Amino acid sequence: MKYRTQILPNVYLTSVQTDKFKTGCFSVNLLRPLRREEAAANALIPSVLLRGSEKYPDIRSISAHLDELYGASMGTLIRKKGEVQFVGFFADYLEDTFAHEPIFSRMADFVAEILLHPVLENGAFGKEATAGEKWNLANTIESRINDKRSYAVSQLLKNMCRDEIYGIPRLGDLEDLEKIDEVSLYQSYRDILKNSQIEIFYMGRIAPEAATEKFREVFQELPRGTAVPFGTKYVPSASEVREVTEALDVTQGKLSLGFRTGCTVSDPGYPALVVMNTIYGGGITSKLFQKVREEQSLCYYASSSVEKFKGVMVVSSGIEFSEFETAKHEILRQLQECRDGHITQEEFDSAKRYLLSDLKAGLDSPGRLDDFYMGQIMAGLDGSMEDLATGIEAVTMEETVDAARRVSLDTVYFLKGVEA
């Protein structure tokens, strides 16, 4: 079903042909090792490119062109997977057959135009465009604090991985952003355009051969140098537990716990970790939801999730300030239950059913397929979602308990209120 081919040196297309949707889509991604000195610049480049190209010199002409293409969308896409930063764009558009005119090929032209022909001033990006987008990115970075739930998780990870590459935020840090100007940014752009592996994901009605042909044509002028290698350093277990507390003027406390999972997506034990995480905190049948939230009303939400490339599990919860000790104790006790094999057949079966259903539903979601395949490619794996489903089906109760035993607590982060 999936088709992958090299279209230019170090430029690959992964293509899934389907006529299920009215929307066709693709993403173009430059794969960069996560590095402090370039993370912020990389996050900034796509936004500056979207300020104008030779043919579409300002945001208004870009918007008008997208309107003309039946409300197509093109946006910046910055992803962090393990210690790799994906830098690029996504495009979503009405399939040709519903528009009664060609849209895909014009979208491919358009994305290539934006990527390859930015508006230049004196051989660099525009001064005002760069300053404006720096300001926007700085605000986005600062606005992390607005959503307390995700803020508490990102603060946890920042503390937990403070001495690791993984501690670098997806969009980089403010202090590094400050140093960038239109000249240095343009140099970074020329460099990453030339020296990165590029991955394109396409899903829609066009046959893989035709999509290959079109992308090869529009990216013909792409400069090609040597692609920099990338990878993720894995820490199998935690040494000692750290507790970090922060105070903000909030009415609800946020408690996040970070664990090392002793396993990554590349290990044979990965499907068991996925099942374990689901039993522990992955959904409404999980122990965290059923015991901590429903039975004890200790929190409004409590769930766990796994970062499969880095080998990290995070529990995220919202609690009353005064419940900190009780909630922490209870969250850890539920993990201990998993380690002790106190998992009912019902919990085990529902977790598997939930996961299999979720993976199958993922086949109906272009965004999830894109994300899944980009992750697989980055990790050097070639299994499909169907293969993962097969792996999950085969997981035994014993393997699940073992997966829980490999998990170790690393850091506890608590966001509490300011005392009046």
Dist CA 74 CA 93 (whole Å): 9
Residue 4 burial class via C-beta count within 10 angstroms: exposed 0-12, middle 13-18, buried 19 and up: middle
Rounded Cα gap, residues 418 and 299, in angstroms: 19
Residues 6+ apart with CB under 8 A from 370: 25, 27, 90, 201, 203
Tokens found for residue 10: 């170090």
The residues, any chain, with a CB within 8 Å of residue 375's CB and separated by 6 or more, are 81, 265, 308, 309
Q: How far is the CB of 118 from another protein (least distance, A)?
A: 16
Token pair of 184, please? 């240095």
Nearest distance, CB of residue 411 and another protein, angstroms: 23
Q: Dump strand ranges (E) for 42-83.
A: 73-81
- Of 73 and 122, which has the nearer Cβ to another protein? 73
Q: Is the CB of 237 or the CB of 350 nearer to another protein?
A: 350
Minimum CB separation of residue 155 from another protein in Å reads 13
* Closer of 191 and 320 to another protein (Cβ): 320
Q: Which is nearer to another protein, 73 or 396 (CB)?
A: 73
* Complex with another protein: residue 197 or 304, whichever CB lies closer: 304
Taking the least distance from each CB to another protein, the nearer of 241 and 284 is 284
Residue 214 CB, shortest distance to another protein, in Å, is: 20
CB of 266 to another protein, least distance (A): 27
Residue closer to another protein by CB (options 100, 163) is 100
> Which tokens is 320 given?
């009353």
CB of 61 to another protein, least distance (A): 9
* Exposure string over 296-318, b if 16+ CB within 10 A, otherwise e: eebbeebbbebbbbbbbbbbbbb
Closest-CA residue to 29 (of 219, 183, 174, 206): 219
Residue numbers at the binding site for another protein (CB under 8 A): 18-23, 58-60, 63-64, 66-72, 92-94, 97-99, 128, 132, 135-136, 139-140, 142-143, 145-149, 248-252, 283-285, 293-294, 297, 299-300, 318-320, 346, 349-350, 353-354, 356-358, 360-361, 363-364
CA-CA-CA-CA torsion sign (279, 284, 285, 287): positive
CB of 386 to another protein, least distance (A): 11
The strand pairing partners of 124, in sequence order, are 121
Q: Smallest Cα–Cα separation from 55: which of 39, 44, 68? A: 68
* Closest to another protein by CB, 133 or 402: 133
Min separation Cβ 275 and another protein, Å = 14
